């Protein structure tokens, strides 16, 4: 029907750490019948258009500003993870305190030594 919309976390979840929740919500919308292309647009160009910056953001297109995330699978699937992130043209590190602790203590990554 030509209605513009965006998918975003609800009130109280506006910080950047909750941004991934929008992708999970979009994935749920696909599971409930929304076409994948429409769900992906609702977390990319849809918000840019709604906020009036669709002429410079929200698309991978020549002349547009872009922060890009490369995924190891479907970005709308919960089990997919970023493999690279580019912000303002520069690759951003994927490490954090949480990933360092995971890598340090994960029994899968560091199985116990045999006795």
Share of the chain above pLDDT 90, in %: 56
92-110 pLDDT per residue, tens: 999 999 889 988 888 776 6
CA torsion 97→103→106→110, rounded to 10°?
A: -150
CA torsion 60→82→88→57, rounded to 10°?
A: 30
| pLDDT for the residue numbered 14 | 59
| pLDDT for the residue numbered 72 | 96
Task: Tell me the pLDDT band of 115, cut-offs 50, 70 and 90.
Answer: low
Average pLDDT over residues 30-54: 95
pTM for this prediction = 0.77
27 φ, ψ (degrees, to nearest 5): -60, -40
Q: Count CB atoms within 10 A of the CB of residue 93.
A: 7
The two tokens of residue 41 are: 């647009």
59-95 pLDDT per residue, tens: 989 999 988 999 999 999 989 989 999 998 899 999 9
**Under 8 Å between Cβ of 76 and 40:** yes
Quick one: which of 57, 72, 9, 7 has its CA closest to 34? 7
Q: Count CB atoms within 10 A of the CB of residue 59.
A: 17
């Amino acid at each position: 029907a030509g209605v513009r919309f965006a998918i975003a976390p609800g009130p109280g979840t506006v910080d950047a750490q909750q941004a991934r929740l929008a992708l999970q919500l979009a994935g749920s919308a696909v599971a409930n019948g929304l076409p994948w292309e429409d769900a992906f647009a609702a977390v990319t160009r849809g918000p840019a258009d709604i906020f009036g910056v669709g002429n410079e953001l929200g698309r991978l297109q020549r002349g547009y500003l872009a922060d890009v995330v490369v995924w190891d699978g479907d970005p709308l699937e919960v089990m997919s993870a970023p493999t690279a992130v580019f912000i303002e043209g520069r690759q951003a590190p994927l490490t954090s305190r949480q990933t360092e602790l995971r890598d340090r203590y994960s029994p899968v990554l560091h199985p116990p030594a045999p006795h």
